[in-house]
Structure 1
């Protein structure tokens, strides 16, 4: 099997986790008739983020790596808020906590090579890279927003603003994926766009019912 297909397989597996988290959250929310934040959503998010960060690294795509680095620890925090973090074996917790830091330290050992890989990639013009970074940062800011909102509520919640930012960021990333002909990004975001729009509708419908009562 060629290295290209191995990298593609890693990316597709990552998006598989992300699609699964969206599907789980979607089904449970449909049943409850309100937007939920299930523990499994965060477990699948963490798994997908770990693999997608690896995919971005192997592809030399800074926008993907940067996006996952920002959201990765938000997933860990939500698992802690759900009281699920302590149930993960200690060795696995250590690996999950230290992997990003180790990756950064490893990369900085040869900063020039790292810069050439991510900032001088011939396959990604600088303008396109910046567009991708904007999309990924916006997409990731949804978890910063969710983190602040949940911290204030002292419970893991997925508010309306989370889905609005998700939809906007997803549209940008899907566009970036189309330009780059990146099947992993295109497939992942296509499914997400439908789910984010549906969650916005569920949230809106829930508020209408609440106002009527």
Structure 2
């Protein structure tokens, strides 16, 4: 069995990358005085998602694993919409596309304790707690489904205001789940994220007020 310090270290590193993507997005949004969707936001998301997927497997936590599996491919699609994905070497694209699938296959075929059966019967996670975590992760993941649909309609990668509202809702539920699970990685990551989500909402509505008050040429 792997040492807990290694597992938590991996988790904190993954959350650090997720936090870095939010800091980049926040800094560039503040600079532009409007909410923006930078390339680096999605690139960091892709790497962090793979690492957090591994962390979820090592923690035997299907809530974490399920959320990352869906979000990963939405990050990928946003990179395509921003014409960044095509610039990656072909071997890196193949590796990225196959990484989550290989992780899921590992869960079903591995003879180690990190398999799907042990994860589904983790004695540290009750059915009620799984339900709360699944609801929170579903809402949290749905934000990217909503964001992708919105972006596809506008033919560019965008972060609409409802994306941040859904993010805050899902994040608060996941924080409650993580507190019961005693998972400092998820707790700290989600608390930090909630602050950035809230700031993006403020930026969006500040921009709307500024646009309404701007003089129009007659």
Q: What TM bracket, shorter-length normalisation?
A: over 0.9
- 1:17 — aligned with what? 17
Output the CA distance in 1 between the equivalents of 2:108 and 2:58. 16
Q: Which runs of 5+ in 1 are unaligned?
A: none
Q: Counterparts of 1:113-124 in structure 2 under 5 Å?
A: 114-124=115-125
Greater Cα offset, 141-150 or 129-138:
129-138
- 1:184 — aligned with what? 185
Let me know the Cα RMSD of the aligned residues: 1.4
- 1:31 — aligned with what? 31
Count of matched residue pairs:
211
CA contact (8 A) 1:33 1:206 kept: yes
Q: Counterparts of 1:1-213 in structure 2 under 5 Å?
A: 3-109=3-109, 114-213=115-214
Output the CA distance in 1 between the equivalents of 2:100 and 2:118. 18
Deviation at 1:194, TM superposition (A): 0.6
Deviations 1:125-183 (A, max 9, x none): 11101111111111010000000000000000000010000011111111111111101
Output the CA distance in 2 between the equivalents of 1:178 and 1:197. 21
Greater Cα offset, 98-107 or 164-173:
98-107
Q: Which runs of 5+ in 2 are unaligned?
A: none
Deviation at 1:115, TM superposition (A): 4.1
Displaced runs of 4 or more, over 6 A: none
Q: TM-score w.r.t. structure 1 length?
A: 0.95
Report which of the two has the higher share of helix. 1
Deviation at 1:110, TM superposition (A): 6.2
Output the CA distance in 1 between the equivalents of 2:106 and 2:121. 19
CA contact (8 A) 1:119 1:126 kept: no
